[in-house]
Chain A
């Protein structure tokens, strides 16, 4: 059964097409990633799926319910952690959780137990009775994640859950996410523009750019599109001679020459380096530099768009800083 079905979903804002005829399905129990640069349309997609925005056209279904016609049923079955903070900072952490749990129909003892349980899971037990305005950014994020799943939703949406957090906190949050998926079988949709995050967490990833899905598969298969690892070498001496020799090796899938360097596409690069060195010595060409690059989802993005996601990241941090990051 599909937890989410999306068909030709489109949303325009005054002429700007933020989400452009996207289609995908997410299976129950999957961790599905939407990976893309700023303004790609990730948040807009999430907002449509969690009933806050109307699609301009197309169809979407969450937990078996139409996001336009059956909003209430959809809402009963989802948990959402928004990109921007959505906590009441004048309440304590525990009050935020309690109020949320009440809204979702948890009662009495069950609610009390659940609140304790999630506070423990995100390690906020000690800070539970502090006003949220006194929390650090990472603590607020953890509280929001706890709130997102306290009512045991079938589908959990996480919109850039680790944006702006330090590496350690980010690791922690990844662990919670994996745990939720494993322990409760929760379907999780996560948006991110961090490659490592998508790679580490997601069963499948859709790469989205300018409102369109440009590739969708498991992280491994996406990377396989690139054909393998890239070994880069620099030589002292006759480059041409080495190149001709390498072109005859059937384990080398592709060779590319660029200003003094040779890029060689191979599988299992780390096992081929010794062989490469032997080979060049045999024909009397000296290798002076060698490096191995394993493909990342970043390379996949570049492969499809000719641009890097990272280029745009700096710009985003500046924007965030001005707005007073995560009020």
Chain B
């Protein structure tokens, strides 16, 4: 049997799309927190010290907020395997004659599409608040970064889900994984202002490069060369999805 079956990937992607379209409240709900941050941080601080280049805070903030939205949505989407387990549907997927890798890729494709739609929605809303992206090429590049961020954290969510029985550990993950990743990524303020030892942590955080890349693509300023951001984000993304697939395959689904 081939290890990548396109039909299966398509089916699982399509399933996510149908569910997404039908769950309007979920879409709005997931936009809530990023928009909250965007409005209160964006309006609250017009300028903070140490911003790179000569951009104002809202232009610094928007890429970070997009990264944040993608982070939360994606980890949650990765964890959604646990919902399927809870509702029994996981068994139906697991007895299907398709490789476990295809299952992971199909889910990831579906979840990444959903995350991308949300990222673009946040971008559109920030345009209303005066955000001006850096031209069409920058937008295209931003989409690439959004997908890389999304797949990285879907993979991370899947790694957790495969090692958990149910959703009980969710708040632990929220407090000790997701929030630190968010705050230590340079999403809200430049990491250069932080103490040396925290900067080191930021350097091993996948979101740091994702947000930096988004910032480079959308507003033209970044801490690292954009090629470095792309390279590292791609590596993180592939490693996370493969690790997710590995743990998913290992876990027993009943």
Residues of A within 8 A of B (CB): 47, 50-54, 72, 75-76, 78, 80, 82, 84-91, 95, 99-100, 102-105, 131, 147, 327
Apart from A72-B97, A105-B7: 8 A-B pairs, beta carbons within 8 A: A76-B97, A80-B91, A82-B92, A86-B89, A87-B89, A99-B11, A100-B96, A102-B7
- Mask for B72-101, Cβ within 8 A of A = 1, else 0? 000000000000000111111011111100
B184 within 8 A of A: no
**Interface pair A52/B8, CB less than 8 Å apart:** no
B128 within 8 A of A: no
18 contacts between A and B (CB under 8 A): A78-B95, A82-B92, A85-B88, A86-B88, A86-B90, A87-B88, A87-B89, A88-B87, A88-B89, A91-B19, A95-B18, A99-B14, A100-B92, A102-B7, A102-B11, A103-B97, A131-B22, A327-B88
Q: Of B22, B88, B97, B252, which one neighbours A53 at CB under 8 angstroms?
A: B252
Q: Contacts A52-B95, A75-B95, A78-B95 given: A89-B87 contact, CB under 8 Å?
A: yes
Chain A residues closer than 8 Å to B253, beta-carbon distance: 52
B254 within 8 A of A: yes
The residue of chain B having its C-beta at the shortest distance from the C-beta of A107 within the complex is B7
The residue of chain B having its C-beta at the shortest distance from the C-beta of A105 within the complex is B7
Chain A residues closer than 8 Å to B99, beta-carbon distance: 72
- Interface of A, secondary structure class, is loop
Shortest Cβ gap from A89 to chain B (Å)? 7
Q: Of A54, A82, A104, which one neighbours B88 at CB under 8 angstroms?
A: A82
**Interface pair A75/B91, CB less than 8 Å apart:** no
Q: Contacts A51-B95, A75-B97 given: A327-B87 contact, CB under 8 Å?
A: yes
B1 within 8 A of A: yes
The residue of chain A having its C-beta at the shortest distance from the C-beta of B93 within the complex is A103
Measured CA separation A102–B252 after assembly (Å)? 24
The residue of chain A having its C-beta at the shortest distance from the C-beta of B106 within the complex is A103
The residue of chain B having its C-beta at the shortest distance from the C-beta of A87 within the complex is B89
Shortest Cβ gap from B171 to chain A (Å)? 23
**Interface pair B19/A90, CB less than 8 Å apart:** yes
Q: Which of B136-175 contact A (CB under 8 A)?
A: none
**Interface pair A90/B95, CB less than 8 Å apart:** no
**Interface pair B18/A91, CB less than 8 Å apart:** yes
Shortest Cβ gap from A129 to chain B (Å)? 13
Chain A residues closer than 8 Å to B15, beta-carbon distance: 88, 91, 99
Shortest Cβ gap from A160 to chain B (Å)? 13
Shortest Cβ gap from A18 to chain B (Å)? 12
Chain A residues closer than 8 Å to B98, beta-carbon distance: 103
B23 within 8 A of A: yes
The residue of chain A having its C-beta at the shortest distance from the C-beta of B10 within the complex is A102
Q: Find the residue from A47, A87, A99 having the highest chain B CB count within 10 A.
A: A99
**Interface pair B88/A75, CB less than 8 Å apart:** no
**Interface pair B18/A90, CB less than 8 Å apart:** yes
Shortest Cβ gap from A145 to chain B (Å)? 13
Q: Of B8, B23, B88, B90, which one neighbours A103 at CB under 8 angstroms?
A: B8
**Interface pair A86/B91, CB less than 8 Å apart:** yes
Measured CA separation A75–B97 after assembly (Å)? 5
Shortest Cβ gap from B209 to chain A (Å)? 35
Shortest Cβ gap from B47 to chain A (Å)? 45
Measured CA separation A147–B254 after assembly (Å)? 20
Measured CA separation A177–B22 after assembly (Å)? 34
**Interface pair B92/A50, CB less than 8 Å apart:** no
Chain A residues closer than 8 Å to B88, beta-carbon distance: 82, 84-87, 327
Shortest Cβ gap from B85 to chain A (Å)? 10
The residue of chain B having its C-beta at the shortest distance from the C-beta of A43 within the complex is B254
Measured CA separation A91–B21 after assembly (Å)? 11
The residue of chain B having its C-beta at the shortest distance from the C-beta of A52 within the complex is B254
The 6 closest A-B pairs by CB, nearest first: A75-B97, A86-B88, A76-B97, A86-B92, A103-B96, A72-B1
Chain A residues closer than 8 Å to B94, beta-carbon distance: 52
Measured CA separation A82–B88 after assembly (Å)? 9
Measured CA separation A99–B11 after assembly (Å)? 6
Chain A residues closer than 8 Å to B22, beta-carbon distance: 90, 131
The residue of chain B having its C-beta at the shortest distance from the C-beta of A98 within the complex is B11
Shortest Cβ gap from A202 to chain B (Å)? 23
Chain B residues closer than 8 Å to A90, beta-carbon distance: 18-19, 22-23
**Interface pair B87/A54, CB less than 8 Å apart:** no
- Mask for B18-56, Cβ within 8 A of A = 1, else 0? 110011000000000000000000000000000000000
The residue of chain B having its C-beta at the shortest distance from the C-beta of A50 within the complex is B95
Q: Find the residue from B10, B23, B252, B254 having the highest chain A CB count within 10 A.
A: B254
